[in-house]
Amino acid sequence: MTDVKIRVLGTGAYVPQRIVSNDEVGAPAGVDDAWITRKTLIRQRRWAAGHEATSDLATAAGRAALQAAGIAPEQLTVIAVATSTPDRPQPPTAAYVQHHLGAAGTAAFDVNAVCAGTVFALSSVAGTLAHRGGYALVIGADVYSRILDPADRKTAILFGDGAGAMVVGTTARGPLVRRVALHTFGGLTDLIKVPAGGSRRPVDQAGLRDGLQYFTMDGREVRRFVMEQLPQLTKGFLHEAGVEAADISHFVPHQANGVMLDAVFEELHLPRATMHRTVETYGNTGAASIPITLDTAARAGAFRPGELILLAGFGGGMAASFALIEW
C-alpha cells in the first residue's frame, strides 16, 4: 500500500432471501445434513433468486456500506468489485454496480483473486486514492450457486451467495487500514478452477457434456495449502506490521469451511483474538465472505476503538491476502 492513510468509513452486506438447507444441497450429492455439518459446520446458505446476478447483490451491499459511511455515490472516486462469478465475462461487473448506484463518472473495475479477492481490491484502490483522494467502494460479491455441479459433494455443499462491502477514504476519521499483504502461488492453479469458459477452453457442447463449466476444487490439497502456508504467512505479515500475535483482538478469515477454520485458528496461535464466523449460516460466499463477516461483527458492536483486526483471505490462484485494521 501507499503511505497515504486509508480508513474504513462504513461496511455493508447483502444476502439473498432464499435459505437453502443441507438436505436440499445434500440430496443430489448423496450426503445428508449430519454428514455436511460434521465435515463443514455449515447448516444453511443463501442462494440468489433467478432474477439476481452478482451485480445486484454487490449493489445492495454497496448501498448499505455507503449509508453506514454517510457517503453519497457521486462522491466516490473508484469502485472495485472482487468476484470470480461476474455477471458476464465482460464488461466488468463493477460497471453495472456503478450504473445501479448512480455513481456516474466513477472509475469502476473488477478484481479476480477468487476468495482472497476483497483484500486484493482494497489494496488496488489505495493507489487511486493516494493520487486522487476521495472515497472508494470495495465490494466482494459472488453467486457460486450458478457454477456448482449439484452432484459434486466436494463443492456443492459448501457455497452460498452474497456480497459484502466497505467504504474507505483518505480521511482523518475511521478505523485505519495499517497494512495489506498479497500473495499468489501460480504453480497451484489447478487446485481451484472452472475448466471452461475462457480463452484457453471456450464453452462448447463437448465441454458442457463433460461438465467443464462447473467449479472444481481439490479439497485435500487446498486444505494442505491453507494449513502449511497460512500460519507462516500470517507470522511474517504481523512481523512486518510490527505487532505481536497477542496484539490481535479479532480474526476475520475467509469462511471456507468451519472445521478447517477451527484447525487454522489453532495453528495461528493468536492468544487473545476472537475468531468471527458466518460460515454456519451463509456457507462459503467466496470473495464476499470476509466483508460479510466483518460487517456482521461490526454491526453487532464486537469491535472497540484501538483494537486490531486481522483479515485473512485465501483462494484460487492459489492466493492469500491479509489486512490489518486498527478499529
Grid cell, residue 309, equals: 483486526
Of 22, 112, 257, 284, the active-site residue reads 284
Residue among 170, 168, 111, 171 at smallest CA distance from 141: 111
CA-to-CA distance for 205 and 50, rounded, in angstroms? 24
Residue among 266, 194, 187 at smallest CA distance from 221: 187
> Which pairing describes strands 76-82 and 192-193: parallel, antiparallel, or unpaired?
unpaired
Of 22, 254, 257, 276, the active-site residue reads 254
Q: What is the DSSP letter of 305?
A: T
CA-to-CA distance for 303 and 288, rounded, in angstroms? 20
> Which pairing describes strands 6-14 and 161-169: parallel, antiparallel, or unpaired?
antiparallel
Instruction: Give yes or no: 115 in active site.
Output: yes
CA torsion, ordered 55, 56, 62, 67, to nearest 10 deg:
160
Instruction: Give yes or no: 183 in active site.
Output: no
Residue among 299, 312, 281 at smallest CA distance from 166: 299
Instruction: Give yes or no: 112 in active site.
Output: no
Residue 326, Cβ neighbours under 10 Å: how many? 16
CA-to-CA distance for 116 and 278, rounded, in angstroms? 16
Of 115, 250, 257, 276, the active-site residue reads 115
Cβ-based neighbours of 239, under 8 Å, separated by 6 or more: none
Nearest 5°: CA angle at 164, between 306 and 185?
85
CA-to-CA distance for 267 and 240, rounded, in angstroms? 19
Amino acid at 80: A
Q: Which residues are catalytic?
A: 115, 254, 284
